[in-house]
Amino acid sequence: MKDLQNLKYLECVIKEALRLHPSVPIISRVSEEEFKIGNFTLPRNTHIVLPLYAVGRDPQYFSNPDDFLPERFLLENTTKIHPFSFVPFSAGPRNCVGQKFAMLEMKMIVGKVLRDYEILPLGPDIMPTMSLILRSTTGINLGLKPRA
C-alpha cells in the first residue's frame, strides 16, 4: 500500500489521462435554491449540466489544454489548478466515495502492465463519443509486447 502511495508521478499521469478523457464526461445537478452567475439569476430547481470533458480542455483553466502534461498535477503545480476545473470523481456531497480506492487500483493495474509489457498502438485513432460514459466509436486497439 505504501509503495502505491509513493507512485506520485504515476498518479499525475492518471490524473492527466482523466482530465483529457474523463470516465464520465458530463454530470448534471438541480439547483436547490435561486442563485446568480454573473448577470444571470437561475431559479430554484434549474437543471444544470456540467461538461467535464470541455472544462478539462478549457484554456482558461489549463494552459496547452490538448497537450498531455502530467507535470501539471505535481504537488507544486496543483495550486494553479482551479479546484472545480478537475473533478474526475465529481465533487461536493455527490462525489465518489471510492475515489481513493479507484486511484490505488488504477496505479496498481497500470504499474503492473507497464512493468511487464510495452504498450503498442495498433490503430485506428480513438474517436471519442459521449454517452453516460466516454467511449470510442473505433474501440481502443492496443498490443502488448512482453518486456525482456
96 is annotated as contributing to ligand binding: yes
Contact 122, 143 (CB under 8 A): yes
55: region left, alpha or beta (phi > 0 left; psi from -120 to 50 alpha): alpha
Contact 29, 50 (CB under 8 A): yes
Amino acid identity, position 9: Y
Residues annotated within a binding site? 96
Residues at the annotated binding site for heme?
A: 96
